[in-house]
Chains A and B, each alone.
Chain A
């Protein structure tokens, strides 16, 4: 894997176009309301019948946050009222029961993730009860590499809470940080001290979490290189196993939460790019490996090791070491991926709750993947995890002639080949070190739904 490389900001600037993040292919905008509860039930039944049914990943969405971070583009509900968490859990358990009863019991859960929102809006006691409920309804793997992860907001958490979370079984945590610069924190309405954050990282370690991650964001209002450099130094000194550096996507027409952010406070495209390059330089110089799509990891972290072995995977929760699983997700707005289908729960709390109260699976849209979708999704999976497209393997697996099938895609890719971002090496198409920063752009060339040469509509954030 690549240890270091030079970054040509001029090239990166040219590829700064809007596009999806490809946590799924097809992406959520392709989901249709014609896919509902009946289709999800059918999909679960089909996967139960497979000769070797896949193991399961389970995602639990906790939509509540105590305060509104202005940059947020997630589906969340702002509330100070802990009772809402209790009411939510009642429905969540009902949804878990409804779904679990459809799934064959010998299918093991190898990955369990709590995301949000803010999962630790719920108390450790409530989270423990949620995990117990899942344990009763599913067969949770006891294997050493079984993954139980949680997204944490260090502002609402004590080191003692972390000890309880570890006792429940959580063995991986990712902490929202974004930037320690006080000016930035004020501009995004998320004030969080370095001490709070470091004490939680330290507690995660002390209680045996196998991986601690820190999430940063570049391109925030009032962000500058000096402040972000200080943040990076602080984070690097704490040595988290993983660091994610996301680009802020300012889409106030789409995300109401972002409207308080003043456009004039945002860094220029050049300034934003400089922040990204700063992060890449510092992280790489400090021994972090670039995994792909905004993610860095220490060389001894399981993600870096899996990437070396070629066994890295990516799903809605991000990168993972677990091979293809069926993803079953619970809670408002949660997206499942069962067999060759995607399905999403209602994005409004009351509609999700209403459906569950009536004993229905709260699906409001989804899709059946076509053979073309399955082929392209397979291609993108390889690209995102290994920064290359295994042409011969795809031809064999999907019985296609690659050059014919992807004639248009290869034409769209040509400028990236000309710029040295992508190389054709025998029977593989490989991203160059710099091209690995632009996996999203490479992916877009192979996205059937974006169409030839068009840039994506505004519902996607920019690549850089």
Chain B
């Protein structure tokens, strides 16, 4: 049986709710904690609050810019978009957060969330009290490393797009990025749904909506991908990787 196609909820990816002793399979921190020899029971003793929230529906906000920082959250299923609104009222999409990824880390500095986070489809989350998490991280080097990794990944993703790349290069890097992230959570690496609107993709990649569709159409005509409504199939990873290499190597 092939791997599940995102965002399909599947026993192999999200149905595992964990229990008193085990983590959800998509938990962003489970690997780090387990590596420290801690199970969920021990975390409970440390009064680390892990709270399941959702399902949120399309358009529901997890937090908004300026809300006091009280938690970070890991996506368990669905997609969360983070964005800011600039002085002219224009939205700028910061990123898309897939199962196993964490939102709210960028609030650590100011004690307030610097962006909005909104559900793009049906989303469930794990919410952590950040202060408790920080206390715990101080005792657990592995957890601390994991948090640093997550934070630097956020920054890296933003920096990669800042360069002077062509539309084709940006799009190839975007598709491969999603592919890698989903694959690491047990989803199919070559088939997935783009749960975000093309305007959001364009905004994130700094391309016009029409350009997003034109580039994807060209990729399709060239046999790199097949697009059917929201579903994308990557047909030629090697050529996509070659296109994206300058960005991914940067």
Q: Which of A47, A48, A52, A54 has the most CB of B within 10 A?
A: A52
B209 proximity list for chain A (CB < 8 A): 104, 106
Instruction: Provide the A43-81 mask, 1 if CB < 8 A to any CB of B, else 0.
Output: 000011111111000000000000000000000000000
Kindly state whether residue B146 has any CB partner on chain A within 8 Å: no
Q: Chain A's nearest CB lies how many Å from the CB of B90? A: 18
Q: Which chain A residues lie closer than 8 Å to B212 at the CB level?
A: 51
**At the interface, yes or no: A418 with Cβ under 8 Å from chain B?**
no
List 8 tightest A-B contacts by C-beta distance, closest first. Answer: A49-B197, A106-B210, A52-B213, A52-B227, A52-B216, A51-B194, A51-B216, A51-B198
Docked-complex contact A51 and B227, CB < 8 angstroms: yes
Q: Is A350 an interface residue (CB 8 A)?
A: no
Residues 1 to 31 of chain B near chain A (Cβ within 8 Å): 2, 5
Given contacts A104-B209, A106-B209, contact A51 B201 (CB under 8 A): yes
Q: A52 and B5: CB pair below 8 A? A: no
Indicate if the CB atoms of A49 and B232 lie closer than 8 Å.
no
Taking A50-B230, A51-B194 as known contacts, 17 extra A-B pairs with beta carbons closer than 8 A to each other, sorted by chain A number, are A49-B198, A50-B198, A50-B229, A51-B198, A51-B201, A51-B213, A51-B227, A51-B230, A52-B216, A52-B217, A52-B227, A53-B213, A54-B229, A104-B209, A106-B209, A106-B213, A399-B2
Residues of chain B within 8 A of A106, CB atoms compared: 209-210, 213
Return the chain B residue nearest A106 by Cβ: B210
* Alpha-carbon distance A47/B58, docked complex (angstroms): 15
8 A Cβ contacts from B188-224 to A: 194, 197-199, 201, 209-210, 212-213, 216-217, 220
23 contacts between A and B (CB under 8 A): A47-B229, A49-B197, A49-B199, A50-B198, A50-B230, A51-B194, A51-B201, A51-B212, A51-B216, A51-B227, A51-B230, A51-B232, A52-B198, A52-B220, A52-B227, A53-B198, A53-B213, A104-B209, A106-B209, A106-B210, A106-B213, A339-B229, A399-B2
CA distance A47 to B216 in the complex (A): 16
Chain A residues with CB under 8 Å of chain B are 47-54, 104, 106, 339, 399
In whole angstroms, what is the CA distance A399 to B8 when docked?
11
Q: How far is the CB of A198 from chain B (nearest CB, A)?
A: 44
* Closest A residue to B220 using CB positions: A52
- Closest residue to A42 on the B side, CB-wise? B58
Q: How far, in whole Å, are A53 and B210 apart by their CA atoms in the complex?
A: 10
List the A residue with the shortest CB-CB distance to B198: A51
Q: Which residue of A lies closest to B171 (CB)?
A: A51
Docked CA distance A54–B197 (Å): 14
A374 smallest CB distance to B (angstroms): 10
Q: Name the CB-closest residue of B to A47.
A: B229
Question: Could you tell me the distance between the alpha carbons of A399 and B2 in the complex, rounded to whole angstroms?
Answer: 9
Per the bound structure, the CA–CA distance linking A302 and B220 in Å amounts to 24
Nearest-neighbour CB distance to chain B for A50, whole angstroms, equals 5
B residues within 8 A CB of A52?
Answer: 198, 213, 216-217, 220, 227
> Is the pair B198, A399 in contact by a Cβ cutoff of 8 Å?
no
Chain A residue with Cβ nearest B199: A49
A53 to B217, CA, bound (A): 10
Cα–Cα distance between A51 and B201 once the two chains are bound (Å): 8
What's the Cα separation between A106 and B210 when bound, in Å? 7
A52 to B216, CA, bound (A): 7
List residues of chain A with CB within 8 A of the CB of B2: 399
In angstroms, Cα B191 to Cα A399, docked, is 12
Distance A49 CA – B120 CA, assembled complex (angstroms)? 12
Q: Once the chains are docked, how many angstroms separate the CA of A106 from the CA of B215?
A: 14
Q: Tell me the bound Cα distance from A407 to B2 in angstroms.
A: 22
Query: Shortest beta-carbon distance, A104 to chain B, in Å?
Result: 7
Measured CA separation A362–B209 after assembly (Å):
29
Query: Of all chain B residues, which has the CB nearest A104?
Result: B209
Residues on B with beta carbons closer than 8 Å to the beta carbon of A104: 209
What residues of A have a CB within 8 angstroms of the CB of B198 in the complex? 49-53
Residues of A within 8 A of B213 (CB): 51-53, 106
Q: Closest CB of chain B to A368's CB: distance in Å? A: 14
Q: Which residues of A contact B230 (CB under 8 A)?
A: 50-51
Distance in Å: Cβ of B12 to nearest Cβ of chain A: 13
User: Which residues on B sit within 8 Å (CB–CB) of A53?
Assistant: 198, 213
- Chain A residues contacting B227 (CB-CB under 8 Å) are 51-52
Q: How far is the CB of B106 from chain A (nearest CB, A)?
A: 26
In B108-133, which residues have CB < 8 Å from any A CB?
none
B194 cross-chain contacts in A, Cβ below 8 A = 51
Closest to A105 in B: B210
A53 to chain B: closest residue by CB: B213
Measured in the bound complex, the distance between the Cα atoms of B201 and A104 in whole Å is: 16
Residues of chain A contacted by B201 (CB below 8 angstroms): 51
Least CB separation from A45: chain B residue = B197
- Measured CB to CB, the closest approach of chain B to A17, in angstroms, equals 34
**Closest Cβ–Cβ distance, residue A402 to chain B (whole Å):** 15
A-side contacts of B232, CB under 8 Å: 51
Contact with A along B132-153 (1 / 0, CB 8 A): 0000000000000000000000
Give Cα distance in the complex from A125 to B60, angstroms.
Answer: 50
**Chain B residue contacts of A51, Cβ below 8 A:** 194, 198, 201, 212-213, 216, 227, 230, 232
Query: A57 to chain B: closest CB distance in Å?
Result: 16
Residue of A nearest to B201 (CB): A51
**CB-defined contacts of A48 to chain B, threshold 8 Å:** 197
Given the complex of chains A and B, what is the CA–CA distance between A48 and B196 in angstroms?
Answer: 12
Shortest C-beta distance, B197 to chain A (Å), equals 3
